[in-house]
Amino acid sequence: MSDAGYGTAMQHGDPSRGDDGRTAPEEPANNGDGVSSTTRRARAFSAAGLWLAPALIVVLAFALYLYYRSLGFTADSTSTAQRSLDWSSNLWPQLVEHLQIAFGSTVIVVAVAIPLGILLTRPALRRVAPAVLTVANSGQALPAYGLLVLFLLLMGQGKITVIWALALYALLPVLRNTMVGLDGVDTSVIEAGRGMGMTRLRVLVQIELPLAVPVIIAGVRTAVILNIGMATLAFLIGGGGLGITINVGLKLNQDPVLIVGASLVALVALTFDWFGALAERFLRPRGI
Amino acid sequence: MSSQPKIHLDKVAKVYPGSKIPAVEALTLDVHEGEILVLVGPSGCGKSTTLRLINRMIEPSSGRILLDGEDVTKGNPDKLRRRIGYVIQQIGLFPHQTISQNIATVPKMLGWDKEKIHEQVEGLLETVGLPPDQYRDRYPKELSGGQAQRVGVARALGANPDIMLMDEPFGAIDPITRERLQNEFLRLQAELQKTIVFVTHDIDEAIKMGDRIAILGERSRIRQCDTPERILSYPVDDFVDDFIGTGSTIKGLNFLKVDSLTLTGYPTLSPGESTETGRSRLREAGREWLVVLDDAGAPLSWANAEHLSGETAGEGEEPGDHLRTDDTLFRALELMVQSSGGMSCVVDTQGRFQGVVQMTDLSKAIRRAQYEARLHYEELESRA
CA dihedral (B4, B8, B10, B13) in degrees, to 10, reads 180
- Contact indicator for B12, B35 with CB cutoff of 8 Å: no
Indicate the burial class of B172 (C-beta count within 10 angstroms; 0-12, 13-18, 19 or more).
middle
A141-145, A210-214, B57-61, B108-112 — which is least confidently predicted?
A141-145
pLDDT of residue B64: 94
For chain A, list residues whose CB is within 8 angstroms of any CB belonging to chain B. 20-27, 29-30, 33-35, 186, 188-199, 202, 206-207, 210-211, 285-288
> Against a cut of 0.90, is the pTM above it?
no
Q: Is B76 on the interface with A (CB under 8 A)?
A: no
Is-contact B366 B253, C-beta < 8 A? Answer: yes
**A interface mutation test: which of B84, B88, B96, B164 has the most A CBs within 10 A?**
B96
Residues 243-262 of B with CB under 8 A from A: none
Q: What is the mean pLDDT of each run of 10 residues along chain A (288 residues)?
A: 40 38 37 47 66 91 91 66 82 94 95 95 89 81 86 92 92 93 94 95 96 94 93 91 92 90 94 91 87
Among B83, B95, B173, the residue with its CB nearest the CB of A20 is B95
How far does the CA of residue A171 sit from the closest CA of chain B (Å)? Answer: 28
pLDDT of amino acid B342: 79
The dihedral built from the CA positions of residue A43, A48, A49 and A51, taken in this order, carries a sign that is: positive
pLDDT of residue A30: 39
Question: How near does any CA of chain B get to the CA of A128, in Å?
Answer: 21
Average pLDDT over residues B5-19: 92
Where b means 16+ CB within 10 Å and e means fewer, A126-139 reads eeebeebbeebbeb
Q: H/E element holding A13?
A: none
Cα of B174 to nearest chain A Cα, Å: 7
User: Any residues with CB less than 8 A from the CB of B359 and at least 6 apart, and which?
Assistant: B336, B342
**CA–CA distance from B42 to each of B60, B216, B217, B239, B243 (Å)?**
22, 8, 7, 10, 8
Is the CB of B141 less than 8 angstroms away from the CB of A23?
Answer: yes
The pLDDT assigned to B50 comes to 94
CB contact under 8 A, A287 and B95: yes
B367 close contact with A: CB closer than 8 A? no
Give the pLDDT of residue B246.
Answer: 80
User: Judging by DSSP bridges, how do beta strands B36-40 and B62-67 pair with one another?
Assistant: unpaired
Closest CA to A203 of B57, B287, B121: B57
pLDDT tens by residue, B124-167 = 999 999 999 999 999 999 999 999 999 999 999 999 999 999 99
Residues of chain A contacting B82 with CB distance shorter than 8 Å: 196-197
pLDDT in tens, B288-329: 888 888 888 888 888 888 888 877 766 777 777 888 888 899
- How far apart CA A15 and CA A191 sit, in angstroms, is 25
The secondary element (H helix, E strand) that includes residue B66 is strand B62-67
d(CA A172, CA A10) in angstroms, rounded, equals: 10
Strand partners, B358: B343
Q: Does B223 touch chain A (CB under 8 A)?
A: no
pLDDT value at position B313? 67
Q: At CA A188, angle to CA B206 and CA B63, rounded to 5?
A: 60
Nearest alpha-carbon partner for B308 in B247, B259, B267: B267
Q: CB under 8 Å to B103, separation ≥6 — which residues?
A: B120, B121, B124, B125, B151, B154, B155, B158
Q: Which chain A residue's Cα is nearest to B93?
A: A189
In this structure, of A27-31, A40-44, B105-109, B367-371, the range with the lowest mean pLDDT score is A27-31
Which of B194, B125, B193, B140 shows the shortest CA–CA distance to B164?
A: B194
- Report the alpha-carbon distance of residue B244 to residue B246 in Å, rounded: 7
Q: Which residue of B has its CA nearest to A210?
A: B96
Distances (CA, A) of B366 to B77, B100, B328: 47, 49, 12
CA atoms A275, A276, A278, A283: torsion sign: positive
In which band, very low, low, confident or very high, does the pLDDT at B251 lie, cut at 50, 70 and 90?
confident
CA–CA separation, A243 and A82 (whole Å) = 16
**Contact assessment for residue B329 and residue B368, using Cβ atoms and an 8 Å cutoff:** no
Give the CA count within 13 Å in the CB-facing half-sphere of B27: 38
Highest mean pLDDT among B14-23, B196-205, B265-274, B289-298: B196-205
Nearest chain A CA: its distance from B77 CA (Å): 7
pLDDT at res. A42? 58
